[in-house]
Structure 1
Amino acid sequence: MVEKIPFYFHGNLFDFLPKRIQMPYPYPLFTTTTVKDAIEAIGVPHVEVGAIKVKEEAVSFSYLLQPPDTVEVFPYQPSQKLNDILRPALNEPYRFILDVHLGSLARLLRLSGFDTYYQTEAEDATIAQIAATEKRIVLTRDIGLLKHKIIDWGYWIRSQHKEEQFREVACRYELWSSFSPFTYCLACNGKIVQAPKESVLDLLPSNAAFYFQSFYQCQNCKKVYWKGSHYDHMLQTLERLHSQSPGC
């Protein structure tokens, strides 16, 4: 007779489970397996998990299931100390890496002052490797990507709308007090610094050279920025994003 381990999932982890599922979920234990492997086999990526308790005791992902275990699985919370049992601590300032489907979100994160790696040609294996090497948080709409073993931190974006996506990330990682606008290039994620007008004059359209005196340049791709109409539009976007902060 196959033993079944009862699993109780909590909070937004239900986003990964079949609708109308009832708790406890009976996980069939055919062979010795870790609680991490069981959780992902049920459908929940390990990066979405913040705490696991077996018989009321906190355990790590490597815990080996055995009858008569009862497992409770809780969602990730940035301020929850139990997270550290499951993965290395994540130091601030947070850095992100996004999959190819989240270009608009990448732009909003950079605009708000967050180091955000995004390349349209990056494949899942590359994203996972960069995330592990550079200690970046993976943001994706692909649940499968979040199941890569070497990824420690990540989040599955629920919404398909860019500003709602931004709000999800800001709420999950408590970013609202960490905005530092206009520090990263929207095009390439390089650092932006103030640049003397004469050093960028050859890169400016004639109207910008005539009407403006203060300029900023990306240290990586050399793109030049100034406070024209596009700047006013970006300010409006930032104000709108900030206004979303209550109610996380």
Structure 2
Amino acid sequence: MIDPWHAGRVEHAEIRIGFDPSLHLFVGPQYRRADRPAAARIDGVSSLGHAVEALGVPLTEVGALRVDGAPAETAYVPTGGELVEVAAVAKPQHVDGPLKFLLDIHLGTLVRRLRLLGVDAAYENPDIGDAALAARSAAEHRIMLSRDRGLLRRRELFAGAFVYSHRPEEQLEDVLARFAPPLAPWTRCTACNGVLRQTSKEAMHGILPDGTERTYDTFAQCADCGQAYWRGAHAERLDAIVTHAMSRFGNAAQRAAAGSPRA
């Protein structure tokens, strides 16, 4: 009698696979050798993309794939014996449409710094869950930024990117280098992502804290939430963030605009 649970069983095979060094943090020690690819088991029916993700690498971080030296797509189904090379995503990364981002609850400092530079960066606080975040990414065509690999593996995402560092300074540089978004410092509300507009001292009467109206002359206000802005005690620290970002990632026109008066 034939055991139906074993009829037609697919025998496992192996591929040899090597990863770009920048992807080594995602994979086990045996896959981190730059001089020699390691063996990985496959089932003969799953895609190459599935195999790469099964080894720990989100497809958001994968660039070119090569199988036995030839370009391959993530949908390719390896059958065994192939040599697979996995490259990191190319920088700057091209994304169709305007560059807009969505950040999860763990990246609050990064979202404020992106907004400081005029980058469209939405943020969910409190946490609404992976499914809702992925749905918003898809609905609004926003690039999901996260350190959660599980979230970045959700198929419904419009696009995504892993944030590699725990340090906000390095996180900001990583995002700017990877996507090269246009920078327009001092044009977005760091609290809600709305657009700032210049306003007069008279228009701000009764809104500002005691003494602020007498001390400062230049103000801006968020068109969405009404938050008021002026050059206060933290101006030098914020100026340093803007100056560094513009010197490294802004074009000539943007650098000139960064020196103009702002709130």
State whether TM-score is above 0.5. yes
Please list the CA deviations of residues 186-210 of structure 1 after superposition, one character each: whole Å capped at 9, or x if unmatched. Answer: 1111111112333332211231222
1:25-40 equivalent positions in 2, closer than 5 A? 25-40=38-53
Q: Please point out which of 89, 109, 119 is paired with 2:124.
A: 119
Which residue in the other structure is 1:145 paired with? 151
1:139-167 Cα distance to aligned partner (Å, 9 max, x none):
21211111111225322222211112112
Partner of 2:240: helix, strand, or coil?
A: helix
Q: Any conservation in 2 of the 1:195–1:217 contact (CA below 8 Å)?
A: yes
- Structure 2 residue 128 is matched with structure 1 residue 128: no
Partner of 2:174, secondary structure, is: helix
Kindly report which structure 2 residues correspond to 1:119-198, keeping only aligned pairs within 5 A, or say none: 119-121=124-126, 122-175=128-181, 178-198=182-202
- The answer to whether the Cα contact below 8 Å between 1:95 and 1:136 also exists between their aligned partners in 2 is yes
1:17 is aligned to 2:22: no
Q: Counterparts of 1:6 and 1:12 in 2: how far apart (Å)?
A: 18
CA deviations on 1:114-135 (whole Å, 9 max, x unpaired) are 1111122232222211112222
2-side partners of 1:142 and 1:241: how far apart?
A: 26
Is the CA contact 1:47–1:152 (under 8 Å) kept in the aligned structure 2?
A: no
Which deviations, in whole Å up to 9, do the C-alpha atoms of 1:101-125 show, x marking residues without a partner?
Answer: 1111111111111111112223222
TM-score by length of 1: 0.85
Whether the 8 Å CA contact 2:196–2:221 is kept in 1: the answer is: yes
Give CA-to-partner distance per residue, 1:60-85, whole Å, 9 cap, x none.
222222234332111101357xxxxx
1:103 corresponds, among 103, 108, 112, to: 108
Contact map agreement 2:100 2:119 (CA 8 A) in 1 = yes
Secondary structure at the counterpart of residue 107 of structure 1: helix
User: In 1, Cα distance between the equivalents of 2:232 and 2:12?
Assistant: 68
Change (3 A) 1:39 1:139: same
Deviation at 1:238, TM superposition (A): 2.1
Find runs of 4+ consecutive structure 1 residues off by over 6 angstroms: none
- Structure with higher Rg: it is 2
Structure 2 match to 1:75: 88
User: Aligned residue for 1:60?
Assistant: 73
Distance 1:30 1:20 in 2: 20
Aligned residues of 1:4 and 1:29 also touching (Cα < 8 A): yes
Alpha-carbon distance in 2 for matches of 1:71, 1:35: 9
Residues of 2 paired with 1:93 and 1:57: CA distance?
A: 32
8 Å contact kept, 1:214–1:226:
yes
Query: What amino acid is the match of 2:118?
Result: G
Which residue of 232, 235, 259 maps to 1:228?
Answer: 232
Give the unaligned 5+ runs of structure 1.
81-88
Q: What RMSD, in angstroms, separates the aligned Cα atoms of the two structures?
A: 2.2
Give the residue type in structure 1 aligned to 2:24: F
Q: Which moved more, 1:116-125 or 1:17-26?
A: 17-26
Question: TM-score scaled to structure 2, two decimals?
Answer: 0.80
Residue equivalent to 1:85: none
